[in-house]
Amino acid sequence: MLIIKYRKIFFILSALLIVGSLVSLFLWKLNFGIDFSGGALLEANFAGGSLPSNDQIKNALSGAGVKDVVVQPTSENGVILRFETVDDKTHQKIVVALSALAQKDQKFEEKSFESIGPAIGQELKKRAIYAILATLVGILFFISFAFRKVSKPVSSFEYAMAAILALFHDMIITLGIFSFLGKFAGFTVDLPFVAAILTVLGYSVNDTIVVFDRVRENLIKRMGNNFEETVSISINQTFVRSLATSATVFIALLIIYFFGGESTKNFSLALIVGIFFGTYSSIFIASTLLVSWYKNKLKKS
């Protein structure tokens, strides 16, 4: 009952989060990884001694014809270099120039190298946006279909719209937080991030549907004196389940984040943030929107 009663507070809270996210996106954009922005990334190891200085590395690379190098040491012997897309010949030159930096008894080792043309990045961005839109449309149709039997007092299309709005809410806030983290903590938006966002969409709608399903069942059973009460009962009935499920998924994800190694950090953080807001929006936004729309309808008629 309390959630429905104080729904405006949650709407305002969400609106603030969304505005904050949009501001962050506007100010700092997204920190795209090289899969999207194009460019080259070289991870190297100078085993058996300390790293050459940043200037030494930069000089070596400019000798090979590469300017604008970002040098980022990862450990005592490891370093990550970022620069523009290069062809294979330049890559060979870079490797030769870097090996020359190794001191006596020190071994230079190229651990990984990536060079991605800017065209590919553009295309991936386009495909990512298409994938997200396609998912939203797919879910819109599915919910409209799954809830066709309870089109009173709120049409099944409105259930679908409420779920989609909740999804936008989750997505925008996750993107906003990542633009903030990208600016201040170096988190990047890469291909696995898109997979994470899409998973969040799936999970969040999953969560929303569980609540809606209860509304559907309670409407058929004529629980509650009016729609507002029915929704309220349904939220209360599914509340513990929503928290329990999210808690288990959260535990699993936190463990991946802390123990899963560097390469899955970005991905698991995106899931953690997304699923947190996904759970929140399923309980506090999606179902309460239904009540608000219903009340608006009542006022009009």
Partner 1 sequence: MEFLRPLVSFLAKIFTPKGAQRRYVLLVVLLVLVVFLGTYNWAKPWNVFATKFNNAIKVDLLGKYSPKDFSLGLDLYGGTHLVYQADVTNIADKERDSALSGVRDVIERRVNLFGVSEPNVQIDKVGGDYRLIVDLAGVTDINQAVQLIGETPYLDFRIEKPGGATTTADFLATKLNGKNLKKATLSFDQTTYKPQVDLQFDSEGAKLFAEITKANLGKRVGIFLDGAPISIPVVQSEITGGNAQITGSFTSDEAKLLVKRLNAGALPVAIKLISQQNIAAQLGGVSLAKSLKAGLYGFLAVIIFMILLYRFSGILASLALFVYAVIVLAIFKFIPVTLTLSGIAGFVMTIGIAVDANVLVFERMREESKNGKSLMASLEDGFSRAWPSIRDSNISTLITSGILFWFGSSIIRGFALTLAVGIVVSMFSAMVITRLLMRVFINTRLSKCISFWIR
Binding residues vs partner 1 (CB under 8 A): 43, 87-88, 91-92, 95, 110-117, 119-120, 123-124, 127-128, 130-131, 134-135, 138-139, 142-143, 146, 191-192, 194-195, 198-199, 201-203, 205-207, 209-210, 213-214, 216-217, 237-238, 240-241, 244-245, 247-249, 251-253, 255-256, 259-264, 267-268, 271
As measured in angstroms, the least distance from the Cβ of 237 to partner 1 is 7
As measured in angstroms, the least distance from the Cβ of 28 to partner 1 is 25
Residue 203 in tokens: 């999970």
Report the C-alpha gap between 88 and 102 in whole angstroms.
22
Coil/strand/helix, residue 74: coil
Q: Pick the closest to residue 206 from 258, 273, 142, 259 (CA basis).
A: 142
Residue nearer to partner 1 on the CB measure, 24 or 279: 279
Exposed, middle or buried: residue 285 (CB in 10 Å: 0-12, 13-18, 19+)? buried
Neighbours of 198 (CB within 10 A): 17
Residue nearer to partner 1 on the CB measure, 70 or 255: 255
70, 75, 77, 80 alpha-carbon torsion, rounded to 10°: -30
Q: Give first-to-last CA distance, the chain, whole Å.
A: 25
Rounded to a whole number of angstroms, the CA Rg of the chain reads 25
Token pair 């349904």 is found at 234
Residue nearer to partner 1 on the CB measure, 11 or 250: 250
As measured in angstroms, the least distance from the Cβ of 264 to partner 1 is 5
As measured in angstroms, the least distance from the Cβ of 54 to partner 1 is 23
Residue nearer to partner 1 on the CB measure, 24 or 278: 278
As measured in angstroms, the least distance from the Cβ of 233 to partner 1 is 11
Report the C-alpha gap between 74 and 82 in whole angstroms.
13
Report the C-alpha gap between 84 and 262 in whole angstroms.
23
Residue nearer to partner 1 on the CB measure, 221 or 299: 221
Residue nearer to partner 1 on the CB measure, 202 or 224: 202
Residue nearer to partner 1 on the CB measure, 52 or 192: 192
As measured in angstroms, the least distance from the Cβ of 299 to partner 1 is 31
Q: Residue 86 in contact with residue 68, Cβ under 8 Å? A: no
As measured in angstroms, the least distance from the Cβ of 301 to partner 1 is 30
